[in-house]
Chains A and B, each alone.
Chain A
Amino acid sequence: MSLYYVQKLLYNLNRDARVRQRHADDFGDLLKEYDLSEEERRALVDGDIGLLYVMGVNGQILMHYAALLGYPWDDYIKSMREGLAKHGPVRHGLYLTTDGRGAV
């Protein structure tokens, strides 16, 4: 279980412009520095916000990664809903859904 390192990577991306540059230049090379499962690596490479949400990435970290990837707000919320439909309930952490309806 390497959810911790998925979140650490996204934390570093969110707060450090140099890490964002490496993300833009060669994301695969950056990912080598983190102890990730194949599913986690694929979700990151694919920018799969729905799967990352279901894995249990803290929403406050994931929200900014979605913004970095260019997701408009409504699409970001929609991606999480699609992730739940495709992959099932959130597996870890506090950022579970309740009724999933929200404001958008």
Chain B
Amino acid sequence: MPLVFAGVCSHAPGITGRAERADPELREDFYAAMRRLGGEIRAARPDALVIVAAEHFANFFMNNMPAYCMGMAERYEGPIEDPEWLGIAPRTYPGASALSRRLIERIMARIDLAYAEEWQFDHGIMVPLHFLLPEADLPVIPVNINCQGPPLTPLSRAYEFGRALREACDAVQERIAVVGTGGISHWPATPDSGKINEAWDRDFLDRWLANDHARLTAYTDAETWREAGQGGFEIRTFIAVAGAAEGAVGELYFYAPIPIFAVGCTVARLRI
């Protein structure tokens, strides 16, 4: 079936772990937008949710770092972080190993994709799923794009990965939704945590909502690092979703800097 849904959202651990310290009105508006995205995923009646995230050394380290990896497990557990620290209780999400395998085989025709039959979810996946799939009742297929340990995959390849993912999703019988998670500009886990370049974020979102391949892939990593921090490298997940929804333009459901969450909180979808 053709891909049935494409969206993006933030995943910063403070969203749940430091919830009580945010402006309540802003926080609840953001949470409502996250739940809206979750409701729209369900309304698209997917058989599985592919979640394209940028993990933070939960499963992958510099001894053997894949640029792209897709999960092929029967189930996934998380959070790998202290549940109290993250504000999310441990839980298990069902996987879809046979479907994963078919998608991986298809994607491999265009992208040298790694796969993993073991995968512990960190906040990059747990925080979005906390809102999007609160009942953990839809099979999940995780994808990681290395955004932490350079060298990093070029932005043009992230878009191409999205195209390959779309082709694979369109080729299988199942209905598949895809969500990308990550920050736009942010400087997490530094003394600058909470700094957000709103102008840079809004310019990036203009490019993403227009699904403008040329402008989305025009950034150099040096520019991104300077203007958007090391957290800005996670735009790769948003760009991959744009690639998966090439030709579709988007709608922004929520954007607001919430400094104690350490990111400009974002919820958006592309109308495929």
Contact = CB atoms under 8 A, between A and B. Distances in A.
B190 A15 contact: no
B56 A60 contact: yes
Interface residues of B, number: 31
A93 B61 CA distance: 15
A77 B262 CA distance: 12
A21 to B, nearest CB: 15
A59 B56 CA distance: 9
A60 B188 contact: yes
Interface in B188-234: 188-195, 225, 229-230
B68 to A, nearest CB: 19
B172 interface: no
Contacts of B81: 14, 64, 67
A90 to B, nearest CB: 9
A36 interface: no
A94 B230 contact: yes
Contacts of B59: 15
Contacts of A100: 191-192
B193 A102 contact: yes
A2 interface: no
A102 B194 contact: yes
Contacts of B188: 59-60, 63
Contacts of A53: 190
Interface in B54-87: 56-59, 61-63, 80-82, 85
Nearest to A80: B191
Nearest to A59: B189
A50 to B, nearest CB: 10
Nearest to A67: B85
A58 B148 contact: yes
Given A7-B62, A104-B260, A61 B57 contact: yes
B18 interface: yes
B191 A81 contact: yes
B61 A11 contact: yes
A14 B260 CA distance: 23
Contacts of A63: 188-189
B195 to A, nearest CB: 6
Contacts of A103: 193-195, 259-260, 262
Contacts of A99: 192, 195
A40 to B, nearest CB: 16
Interface of B: 18, 56-59, 61-63, 80-82, 85, 120, 148-150, 187-195, 225, 229-230, 259-260, 262
20 contacts: A8-B61, A11-B57, A14-B57, A60-B57, A61-B56, A64-B81, A67-B85, A68-B82, A95-B189, A96-B190, A97-B187, A98-B192, A98-B229, A99-B192, A101-B191, A102-B190, A102-B194, A102-B259, A104-B193, A104-B194
List the 4 shortest-distance A-B pairs measured between CB atoms, nearest first: A103-B194, A59-B189, A103-B259, A60-B56
